[in-house]
A and B are shown apart, each in its own frame.
Chain A
């Protein structure tokens, strides 16, 4: 039972504090900081489902977030849909697309799959840049009428924030739920040895396609919510390859395969970035430092921060998932 896992309650406590802290005194700057952390956690923990659980590197994970943002903004602005409905539709549509893509490219293994995900990202970006209803390379803007059902822009942004925190909590609970399920065991088996897993009766192609599609759902919803907050979208912001890669850095930093690790890595990386951006001397070297960190983690601590904690305190394995 998921309710008996300490991590489950930890997720709820953290999410609740994310809601409570900025609410006290209507602290908008804190809210803006936390929203970035929340989105980073959503991206990293869903990416973890692919990289950490199944052992497949997805370099184009951001494509789900960007497409979700586009569909969400298109539905709310052009079609005049309700935000929640639009976000859910975006999630379902992107998951379905991912399932279709997945059934095709997941027949590839290892590095071939990783390369194909770069191809998918670039192809989708190139498509959107030429797609008239979505404003080609200039993108789209949110119309102010979209805020009206929520009682004005200020309230709409607060509600949007709560929704994003909700998605963050759901992402972590989903990761935990999959980890302790039989389905999760199947994924781990694929990660360890795909041929052996297939022989033992794991339908590997189906499992991989499902997890690829599942890992698309919440990022797409988050994309719709986040670009609603930003009020505009264009193909360069939506499908930024860099952000996709930062997700991988976060995951490796925290510890791939671990629910807490993904969240911790995302939090740490965002904190590090805010620190680097505010220091003018270092802001140019953000990439260099992120790259250096990734290299050090890969070479010397492949388990990330959580792997290090596990080694120090072996008993923590049972408590921190």
Chain B
């Protein structure tokens, strides 16, 4: 159960990225899964090149994610902002296909893993895996620093301003293009970071990003689109749910429960379960 809680914080991190991009630019980012997968492979490649503590390697991976995000913004997103939703869904999806296609060609679809284990902590009869604790700690640190960035810095405030009202923000002299590009970059960096963290927990293939992308959708919808910190909490809740139900039913039923929950929440609480509090 505690393990579920720890893994949940990593889901939450991926969902924060999705939520941020949605909130700021009204784009549902379908490249998220591919970016999570790239994060996994980025971590794998770095770890095989420099075998040091992977949690230190997280920093260059995040940096690369930020740059990649900004590049993707200029290639695919910038042109469809303000056009019908269909167009941005399709253009992000097209980028997703290209990344997965290249990834499949390079790494095939066989599983990889980052072979690194931290010593666990034993409390009574229960042992917490070291990697789980480290990943969860890293996820929370990243989430909190993002929140501080959004609340305290000039650029962070600009991002929030654009997400509140883009025209008004432009009139106040904020260049919305730069803000959108940076926000997209941060969103992708979060996806890549969560992928990198997942790679230290479970084996992965180039296609595993899709699973986490769907989990991030569930989480984002639970929290209500466009609420990054809510997404982290909802991610932890989802992880907790997985942890709680696993002993009682076969693991293969979990996706069914999650997606049913997803559709039900979408229909019943389109603003998310935290919607009323925030609105």
Contacts and interface: CB of A to CB of B under 8 A. Distances in A.
A279 to B, nearest CB: 14
B121 interface: no
A116 B28 CA distance: 13
A127 B255 CA distance: 9
A206 interface: no
Task: Give the interface SS of chain B, mostly helix, strand, loop or mixed.
Answer: helix
Interface in A280-307: 284-295, 298-299, 302
Contacts, number: 125
Nearest to A121: B259
Contacts of B241: none
A287 B98 contact: yes
Interface in A39-72: 51, 55, 57
Contact of A295 (B76, B83, B102): B76
B93 A294 contact: yes
A115 interface: yes
Contact of A245 (B76, B86, B97, B252): B97
> What interface size band does chain B fall in?
35 or more
Interface stretch (B40-48, B126-134, B140-148, B261-269): B261-269
A288 B97 contact: yes
Contact of B94 (A119, A125, A137, A292): A292
A178 interface: no
Contacts of B221: 115
A286 B252 CA distance: 31
A295 B266 contact: no
A159 to B, nearest CB: 36
Interface string A218-242: 0000000000000000000000010
A270 to B, nearest CB: 17
A104 B263 contact: yes
Contacts of B255: 122-123, 125-126
Interface in B40-75: 75
A111 B266 contact: no
Given A51-B86, A55-B86, A119-B259, A114 B28 contact: yes
Contact of B87 (A105, A245, A298): A298
A287 B98 CA distance: 6
A112 B266 contact: yes
A118 interface: yes
A317 interface: no
B205 interface: no
Given A130-B253, A295-B95, A111 B85 contact: yes
A245 B105 CA distance: 19
Contact of B259 (A122, A288, A291, A302): A122
Nearest to A122: B259
Contacts of B79: 299
A287 B252 contact: no
Contacts of A241: 210
Interface in B232-259: 250, 252-253, 255-256, 259
9 closest A-B pairs by beta carbon, nearest first, are: A287-B101, A291-B97, A288-B101, A123-B259, A295-B94, A291-B98, A126-B256, A284-B105, A126-B255
Interface of B: 28, 75-76, 79-80, 83-87, 89-91, 93-98, 100-102, 104-105, 210, 214, 217-218, 221, 250, 252-253, 255-256, 259-260, 262-263, 266-267, 270
